[in-house]
């Protein structure tokens, strides 16, 4: 029987300790906390460096290995249907909770007293947002530019095209697939090395957040933060929990299985930092490689449930805080526009704030400069958004795998029943 590792050797324990240390540094030595920002930025940059090769290798290998190419379209359609249904539920949840709890009531903020320059940069980016621009954003300037830039939609496009091309090449395509599989193992080997630095990244990110904004800046917005976190938790437990039960697993055991990744997201405020490792873990749960490769990265573009809750909740919060009444037709307009505008965030921290600016620009009743109210707590909100997005995409991948009959449910339950022993195994994809 293999000897069990000490608790402090587990990644989740190291990250949790680092987060606590980061909070303490930010509280008592705020200047030092701000100076530690490069630790968090450096870790995020290292992971982001590997996003494009991970998506390319996994998606190409998954499509090229499929004997029936119609299956790719079937998986894609099922995933998009699921994404739209759950994303809409998330948007509705934000509106309902805001109307029930009224987190912005009583603030009585005059928009004329807010500095429009504080949000001018976000308003400029928001003006560039449109559905056509979103679709055109999938097309890179060159094939290599997609890999160099690392934008998830562009990498997905060239990966799908490459996978289809290889699948039609016969024996030469099989050799190309084997080469991609070897490259895939190399890429994930690099990821495992980088992830060892996750505690440093979490420490730097949390120390900077607390050191920059401090807890004093949260006092007037604690109700909004609490409402958002509560809504996200309830959405994970009730909505994702019901979906997980239908598929055949417990949402709580799933959360325990991916706790390392959730803590990394908490420390870095970006769901991109765990994309490669989440794909590896979903495969280990019994989901097929082809479905994982197609659904999970696609979810970063089309299935940002945490961001959706944040968008509608924040718009109504700002309206309540500035004493602006929104009619039912205006709320429906917000819902429909948010459903389109929320696509394309791709897990990058801060994109939710830009999307929120785009929605306010489309609903002129709530002035864009009211975004200044949220600037001080944006970092704290982005952490919850990213965690909810990761959980949602993990559940979505298992759902589509079950729909396709390619989810090994007994294996999934066995691994989830013993997450600690299985988390210790660092199998590369394909082994």
114-171 pLDDT tens trace: 555 544 444 444 444 555 665 676 788 888 877 777 676 777 788 888 888 887 787 8
Of all helices (H) and strands (E), which one includes residue 73? helix 70-101
- pLDDT tens track for 73-107: 778 788 889 988 999 999 999 999 999 988 877 77
Q: Tell me how far apart the 2 most distant CA atoms of the chain are, in Å.
A: 69
How would you label 322-339 residue by residue, b for 16+ Cβ within 10 Å and e otherwise?
Answer: bebebeeebbebbbebbb
430 domain-assigned: no
The span from the CA of 204 to the CA of 209, in Å, is 9
How many helices and strands (H and E) does the chain possess? 22, 0
Please list, in sequence order, all residues whose beta carbon lies within 8 angstroms of the beta carbon of residue 395, skipping any fewer than 6 positions away.
Answer: 240, 243, 244, 247, 251, 254
428 domain-assigned: no
- 360 or 258: which carries more pLDDT confidence? 258
322 domain-assigned: yes
The CATH number given to whatever domain includes residue 151 is 1.10.3860.10
- Whether the pLDDT of residue 308 is over 60: the answer is yes
Question: What pTM was estimated for this model as a whole?
Answer: 0.74
Query: Which residue segment(s) compose the domain that 126 sits in?
Result: 7-423
- Whether the pLDDT of residue 6 is over 60: the answer is yes
142 domain-assigned: yes
The span from the CA of 84 to the CA of 302, in Å, is 8
The span from the CA of 21 to the CA of 284, in Å, is 32
431 domain-assigned: no
429 domain-assigned: no
The total domain count for the chain is: 1
386 domain-assigned: yes
- pLDDT tens track for 186-237: 887 887 788 788 788 888 877 887 777 665 555 557 888 889 999 999 999 9
1 domain-assigned: no
- pLDDT tens track for 340-367: 666 654 444 455 666 777 777 766 677 7
């Amino acid at each position: 029987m293999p000897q069990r590792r000490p608790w402090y050797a587990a990644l989740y324990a190291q990250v949790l300790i680092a987060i606590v240390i980061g909070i303490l540094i930010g509280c008592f030595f705020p200047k030092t906390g701000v100076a530690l920002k490069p630790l968090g930025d450096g870790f995020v940059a290292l992971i982001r460096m590997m996003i494009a090769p991970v998506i390319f290798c996994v998606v190409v290998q998954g499509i090229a290995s499929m004997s029936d190419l119609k299956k790719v379209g079937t998986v894609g359609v099922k995933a998009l249907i699921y994404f739209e249904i759950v994303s809409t539920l998330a948007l509705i949840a934000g509106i309902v909770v805001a109307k029930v709890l009224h987190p912005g009531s009583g603030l009585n903020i005059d928009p004329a007293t807010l500095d429009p320059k504080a949000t001018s940069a976000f308003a400029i980016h928001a003006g560039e947002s449109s559905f056509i621009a979103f679709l055109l954003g999938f097309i890179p300037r060159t094939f290599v530019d997609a890999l160099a830039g690392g934008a998830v939609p562009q990498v997905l496009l060239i990966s799908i095209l490459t996978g289809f091309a290889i699948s039609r090449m016969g024996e030469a395509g099989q050799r190309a697939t084997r080469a991609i599989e070897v490259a895939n193992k190399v890429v994930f080997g690099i990821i495992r090395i980088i992830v060892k630095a996750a505690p440093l990244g979490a420490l730097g990110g949390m120390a900077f957040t607390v050191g920059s904004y401090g807890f004093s800046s949260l006092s007037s917005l604690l109700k909004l933060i609490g409402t958002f976190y509560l809504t996200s938790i309830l959405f994970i437990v009730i909505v994702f929990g019901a979906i997980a039960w239908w598929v055949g697993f417990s949402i709580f055991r799933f959360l325990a299985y991916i706790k390392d990744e959730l803590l990394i997201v908490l420390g870095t405020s970006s769901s991109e930092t765990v994309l490669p490792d989440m794909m590896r873990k979903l495969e280990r749960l019994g989901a097929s490689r082809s479905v994982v490769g197609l659904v999970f990265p696609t979810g970063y573009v089309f299935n940002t449930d945490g961001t959706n809750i944040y968008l509608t909740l924040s718009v109504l919060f700002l309206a309540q805080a500035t004493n602006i009444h929104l009619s039912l037709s205006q709320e429906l307009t917000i819902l429909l526009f948010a459903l389109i505008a929320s696509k394309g965030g791709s897990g990058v921290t801060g994109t939710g704030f830009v999307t929120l600016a785009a929605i306010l620009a489309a609903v002129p009743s709530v002035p864009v400069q009211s975004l200044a109210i949220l600037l001080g707590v944006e970092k704290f909100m982005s952490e919850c958004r990213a965690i909810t997005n990761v959980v949602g995409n993990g559940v979505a991948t298992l759902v589509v795998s079950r729909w396709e009959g390619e989810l090994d449910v007994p294996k999934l339950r066995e691994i989830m029943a013993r997450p600690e022993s299985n988390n210790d195994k660092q199998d590369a994809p394909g082994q």
